[in-house]
Amino acid sequence: MRPGPDSRRFAVHDHRPGAAPAGARPEPMALEVRRTGGGAAAPPHASGHDDRLLRVERHACLAVVSADDSADRFLDGLLDDGGPGRAVAVHGVDPRTEPDAVRRLVGVVRSGMPLPEGAVHDALVGTALRQGLPPETAVERATDLAAALGLRSVERTPVAALTPGQRSRTAVGCALLHVPKLLLLCRPLDDVDEVSEQILHRVLGRYAASTGTVVFSTGSAEVARRMTDRLFMVCDEQVRCGSLPTAR
């Protein structure tokens, strides 16, 4: 995903995998999934290392593509138990042993895109408060994200009355409120209008360029091609082929 025009206001860093000052230890991957021996074996081409199913470097944007709901189930299960035969690390932190630390690191849009009831503004502020943000900060970030995501005109609209694109933008806003380092998003770009896709492309591009890493699921290879330069395939919640170029 190429950063949008507004990304120039953020500081520029060297985000290449392993890029570090001489003698410094490379930073851990944003997301790493390893085989632990209890699940179905992945084919050799799924990774260049026997036990590594997936490695996602910092400031990357990857699409998880599947013809059914396998990609959604794959993302939904990562922070719960990792899935059968898998071990997960988020910036080097194990969700099973340090769940609170991982929750602070990750913003999630679950499959089905559940949202709190009420108006858009209340949903954003309420989510921020539940994430532990102080009230003043919660309101400020909700207002800023509503503006960035083109939601100011529907701030008082009930979530239940939103269009699919507006709902998707609201869900992504909720995931971004606590400024996570990794976003796991289930189908944020499927079946949305063109304006919503453009807004999400811009916002997620800025986020990946300046703050963190995006992994999103989709049932459309075309959506993956428009949004990112890399994708991986999932079938029956197993990584079947990783880090394919989209030939965008």
Residue that is written with structure tokens 């709902």 in the block: 167
Predicted local confidence at residue 4, as pLDDT: 44
Which has the closest alpha carbon to 3: 201, 216, 230? Answer: 201
| Helices (H), ranges, 81-238 | 99-105, 120-130, 135-148, 164-176, 194-210, 221-227
Return mean pLDDT, the chain: 83
Residue that is written with structure tokens 């900060």 in the block: 137
Predicted local confidence at residue 237, as pLDDT: 59
Rg (CA), the chain: 18
Q: Of 8-17, 114-123, 139-148, where does mean pLDDT reach its minimum?
A: 8-17
Q: Find the mean pLDDT for residues 188-206.
A: 96
CA distance 238 to 241: 9
Predicted local confidence at residue 231, as pLDDT: 82
> 110 falls in which pLDDT band (50, 70, 90)?
very high
- Give the strands of the sheet with 86-90, arranged side by side: 52-56, 31-35, 86-90
CA distance 44 to 143: 47
Residue 19, C-beta contacts closer than 8 angstroms, at least 6 positions apart: 26
Reported pTM: 0.82
Three-class DSSP category at 52:
strand
> 29 falls in which pLDDT band (50, 70, 90)?
very high
pLDDT at 141 over 60: yes
pLDDT at 7 over 80: no
Q: Find the mean pLDDT for residues 44-63.
A: 70
How many CA within 13 A on the CB side of residue 210?
Answer: 16
Specify the pairing of strand 182-186 against strand 213-218. parallel
pLDDT at 133 over 50: yes
| Contact call for residues 172 and 200 (beta carbons, < 8 A) | yes
pLDDT at 202 over 60: yes
Residues of the chain with pLDDT > 90, as a percent, come to 60
pLDDT at 153 over 50: yes
pLDDT at 204 over 70: yes
Residue that is written with structure tokens 């959604």 in the block: 72
> 38 falls in which pLDDT band (50, 70, 90)?
low
Tokens of 195: 């304006």
